[in-house]
Structure 1
C-alpha cells in the first residue's frame, strides 16, 4: 500500500501570529499575511497552514474560509513545542540599512535570543524602523522553521548599554586592536549567559574601547587575522559560539527544512 502523505505537508505555508494558540482556536488573518496566503499561495478551504505563536509552539491549522482580504483558520494539533533558545544576545552597531537587514535575518536563522541595536560614535545610522525590522526577523524565522522569535530591542547608545549590562552576563566584544581568539574564549563553556558587541564599519573609537574594557564582564576577542565587515563579524561570532557553546552541539533536534 502507498504510504499515507504527511500532514501538514512540508510545502504548507508558515506564519507567526499574535494570538496564543490552542487546539480548536479559530482566527482570521488579514493584511499582508492574508495577501500572502490568498494571492501568493492561493489557499482554499481545507488547505493546511502551519502557525507559530512564539508562546506554545508550532501548530497545524486548516483554512476554513479564503477571501480576497482575509483568511479564516482553525488550529488542529500541536506539532512542536516552542524551541528552547540559547541565552545569547547580539548587540550590533547600526550600519547601512541593507547590511543591517542581513544581520537581522541571519542572526535569527542562527538562533539568537535577543538583538540589541547599538549606536556608537562612528555609526552611519542612528535609527531603525521597528516595524520593518520585526518583519525581517519574523520572515526569517518562518523560512527557517523556527518556533521562537528573537526579542528585538530599540536602539540604545553604547554608554547606556554598558551602564545597564547585567552583572552575570559575559560581554564579548570584537576589538580590532586584538583580544583572545573567540574559539579559545568560549572553549568548554556550557551555554553561559552571553552577549556579543560588534562595532560599526569604522570600529570603536579609543574612548569607547576604554569604556568597554572597563566593564568587568567585558572580554575583548579576536575573530582571526583578516579584517571583517561589521555584518560578517557579527555572524561569524554567532556561528563560532553556537558551535562551541550553543545548541549546535545537540545530537538531536528539529530537522532542517526539506531534510528526510
Structure 2
C-alpha cells in the first residue's frame, strides 16, 4: 500500500489527515518537531486502523532533517504521497510594523523553505525522471493568502501565497513525470492555533464573516486532501482548493 508523509501531523488538521488516510489504506509517517507524545498517539491511532505508522521528529526547514524524514519513511515502503502541513504563524497577532525580523524569517523558513525541501525530496523519489513510480503532493495553504490577514499575521499570509505559487509552478514541472501537485487552502478551522495565539474567541468573531456562518472542522480539510491524493483526482494538478465556507 502507499506510504504517506504528513508534516506537522501530530495535531489539528495534520492529525485528522493522518487518521483519515489510514482509514483509506495508507501507511502513515507522522512528522513532528516538538513534543513526541501527541505524534506517538496519532501513530498509535493509525496502527489501530490496521496500518503501519512511524512518528518521526524533523524540522522541515532543515535539509538534513528532511532527508532523514524521507529515509525513515522509506523503511515502510516507497513514498507515494506527501502532505506539507507543517506551518507556524510566528507569534501573537499584530501589525506588520510591530514584528521582529527574526520572527518573520523563521515563519518563512518553516512555511516556504520547508515546503520547498519536502517537495524536492518527494520529487526525487516519486518522479519517473528519477526512476520513481509517481505520486501525489498536497500542500496546505490558507485562504489568508487571498485575504491578507491584516492586523494579525500578514507575514504568514504572504508565506501561504508563496505556497500557492510553488504549487502552480512545480505542478507544471512534473506533470508528465507521474507526479501531481495540488494545494488545499483552509479557512477558519477549529484547531488549537487560536487559543495558543491568545485568541480563544477568534473563530466566534470571524464566524459572522463566513457565508456558512461557522468555522470548519479538521476532518473537512482532511476529506479535501484525501480526494486530491486519490485516483479520483487523476486529472487534477496545479489546483488550489479553497475549503473556507465561502469566505
TM-score normalised by the chain length of structure 1: 0.36
Determine which structure has more spread, i.e. the larger CA radius of gyration: 1
TM-score normalised by the chain length of structure 2: 0.37
Q: Which structure: greater strand fraction?
A: 1
